Amino acid sequence: MFLTEAPGEGPRQAAIRLVLAEGEDARERTAGWRAAAGFDHPHLVRVLGTGECRMDDAAVGYCVTEFADEVLANVIQERPLTPGETRQLLPPLIEALEYLHGRGFVHARLRPVKIMAVNDCLKLSPDGVERAETAYHGGGADAYDTPEAAENTPAGDVWRLGVTLVEALTQRTPDWEAAGGSVPALLEGLPEPFARIAQECLRGNPAKRCTLARVRDLLAGGTGASLGPARGSERGLKRELEGGPSAPARKGSAARRRARIIGLVLLGMGAAVGVWLHSRHEAPKPEQVPTSLPSARTAGQGETPARQQGYGARSSAAPVQHGAVLERVMPSVPEPAMQTIHGAVRFSVRVAVNAEGVVSSAAIGQAGTSPYFLPFALKAARQWRFVPAFTGGRAVPSTWVLNFELRRSGIAVHPEEVAP
């Protein structure tokens, strides 16, 4: 997957996916792209063009789509979705799948990495759209592969929707082998109505699985008014997935503003997440330490990192002694991946540092255009150590932005303390 520009008035970002045009699987995949180019649904990523070409001696198929801002897989790599977020996630997926099924197609690769945000709208990637009743090429490699694994059917999409639901809420996929053939405890531990939905979607016999209409009914009839905004309030979900505060958090955070959309940029689908921008409160209110981005902590936790450290209000006139970097840890990126870089890849990681100089959380600041490298940077950033900042003669939490620049020749990091 590559970032490109689509023709038209002014520059417009687009994504282009390339696959080797060899074998039955590739032929069905490119046929699905061509079919998707004729689809028009608000919850399907729009296909701008498809075709075939040759690169060196290889036949290559390509698909150009509108650019997705972020990918759901990046969000749940950092934290599970809340029930409210999940309640809003399902209706757009159901609508998109029903649209495909009504035209004789399925989404054979449905999973979090195919669920994206495009201009404040949740959409399903066209990559994986295949005609129903054709051969299924999953191969039983993971939990998303249906037990029947014979051909593409709407029942297979229901199975994959169920696994997606479980992973979104728990960051894990069900393991039937470990459960010894019974219902995995992971399903039974879900809140309602999601436990019931997951169990009905994940019946081993495809003839006994629930339908998409049944999922919608269970979702509408689920108990728990606190599970989030009413069905159809997609913008509310976007705010949640972007890292905005959930209903409990909003009560104490009127200064927070929407940052960036939830994580969904397709490319390698590495890990990135939504953004949380925390404004500073003037004294005598407790200071809020900015932790931009993905709040790896679950949405809805009301305490800021500063409060968790017991750090209270202080006078704006208190003398500040800034901290310093004590130990750097560089990302361990595979050399073959480094050699794919053309020019420079730049992005930032924002870290919250406690009063002992230890990183308490790390999140993507500006994601750049190559999300593949983000997980390596996050892992390294969490291992950095700092000399703590001091205010009024005592150590206090601080916030740093680590600006990464990756080139074929190596990796450079430029740290910047942004608070206090």
**Are residues 92 and 116 in contact, defined by beta-carbon separation less than 8 angstroms?**
no
Query: What pLDDT was estimated at residue 140?
Result: 52
Contacts of 83 (CB under 8 A, 6+ apart): 169, 191, 194, 224, 227, 228
| pLDDT average, residue stretch 68-73 | 87
- The answer to whether residue 110 scores a pLDDT higher than 90 is yes
Residue of 369, 370, 367, 361 whose CA lies nearest to 400: 361
Please state at what angle helix 194-201 crosses helix 83-102, rounded to 10 degrees. Answer: 30
> What's the pLDDT score for residue 218?
94
More reliable by pLDDT, 303 or 11: 11
- For residues 57 and 81, membership in a common domain is answered with no
Residue 241 domain-assigned? no
- In this predicted structure, the answer to whether residue 271 has a pLDDT above a threshold of 70 is no
Share of the chain above pLDDT 90, in %: 34
Do residues 380 and 330 both lie within one domain? yes
DSSP per-residue string spanning 42-90:
TTBPPEEEEEEEEETTEEEEEEEEEPPSEEHHHHHHHSPPPHHHHHHHH
Same domain as 16, residue 90: no
Question: Given pLDDT bands bounded at 50, 70 and 90, which one contains residue 179?
Answer: low
Query: Which among 311, 391, 296 is positioned nearest to 351, based on CA atoms?
Result: 296
Report yes or no: 103 and 154 within 8 Å, Cβ to Cβ.
no
**117 assigned to some structural domain:** yes
% the chain with pLDDT above 70: 73
The total of structural domains in the chain comes to: 3
**Residues 223, 77 share a domain:** yes
- Binning pLDDT at 50, 70 and 90, where does residue 321 land? confident
Lowest mean pLDDT, pick from 43-57, 181-195, 348-362: 181-195
Which one of 15, 41, 66 terminates a domain?
A: 66
Tell me which DSSP letter residue 15 carries.
Answer: E
| Residue 134 covered by a domain | yes
Higher pLDDT, 269 or 220: 220
Residue 155 is predicted with a pLDDT of: 95
pLDDT band at 25, cuts 50/70/90?
A: confident
Quick check: 313 pLDDT over 50? no
Instruction: Let me know: does 198 contact 185? Beta carbons within 8 Å.
Output: no
Residue 254 lies in a domain: no
Q: Do 15 and 105 have their domain in common?
A: no
Residue 175 has pLDDT above 50, yes or no: yes
Other beta carbons within 10 Å of 298: 13
Residue 281 has pLDDT above 80, yes or no: no
Encode burial over 75-85: b for 16+ CB neighbours within 10 A, e otherwise.
bbbbbbbbbbb
CATH of the domain at 290: 3.30.2420.10
CATH number (domain holding residue 77): 1.10.510.10
Q: Are residues 327 and 387 in the same domain?
A: yes
pLDDT greater than 70 at residue 265 = no
Which CATH number covers residue 49? 3.30.200.20
Residue 380 scores a pLDDT above 90: yes
Structure confidence at residue 214 as a pLDDT band (50, 70, 90): very high
Residue 368 pLDDT class (50, 70, 90 cuts): confident
- Is 344 a domain residue? yes
Is-contact 274 70, C-beta < 8 A?
A: yes
Among 195, 227, 259, residue at a domain's last position: 227
What's the pLDDT tens digit per position in 122-165?
Answer: 999 999 899 888 877 664 567 898 888 778 899 999 999 999 99
- Rounded CA separation 364/380 (Å): 12
Is the residue at 240 inside a domain? Answer: no
Task: Identify whether residues 344 and 388 lie together within a single domain.
Answer: yes
Q: Are residues 286 and 148 in the same domain?
A: no
pLDDT given at position 10: 61
Average pLDDT over every residue of 170-179: 80
Using an 8 Å Cβ cutoff, are 63 and 46 in contact? no
The residue that leads in pLDDT, 28 or 274, is 28
Condensed to tens digits (0 to 9), the pLDDT of residues 381-414 reads: 999 999 988 888 888 999 999 999 999 889 999 9
Per DSSP, the three-state class of 66 is: strand
pTM beyond 0.75: no
pLDDT at 353: 93
Same domain, 409 and 297: yes
Confidence of residue 181 (pLDDT cuts 50, 70, 90): low
Indicate the SS3 state at residue 122.
Answer: strand
List strands edge to edge, sheet with 345-353. 359-364, 345-353, 398-407, 410-419
Looking at the fold, whether 76 and 57 belong to one and the same domain comes out as no
Give the integer Cα–Cα distance in Å for 14 and 118.
11
Task: Name residue, tokens 């996916």.
Answer: 17
Residue 146 located in a structural domain = yes
Question: How far is Cα 13 from Cα 267, in angstroms, rounded to an integer?
Answer: 13
Domain boundary among 34, 66, 98: 66
Domain-located, residue 255: no
- Mean pLDDT (the chain) is 75
Count CB-CB contacts under 10 A for residue 256. 17
CB-count burial class (<10 Å; 0-12, 13-18, 19+) for 338: middle
Pair (46, 119) in one structural domain: no
Compute how many other C-beta atoms are within 10 angstroms of the C-beta atom of residue 51: 12
Domain encompassing residue 385: 275-419
Residue-level pLDDT at 366:
80
- pLDDT score recorded for residue 183: 67
Same domain (yes/no): 323, 408: yes
| Res 215 pLDDT > 90 | yes
Given a cut of 50, whether residue 252 has pLDDT beyond it is no
CA separation for the pair 246, 241 (Å, rounded): 10
Which CA distances in Å does 420 have to 68, 224, 395, 396, 398? Answer: 34, 41, 11, 8, 6
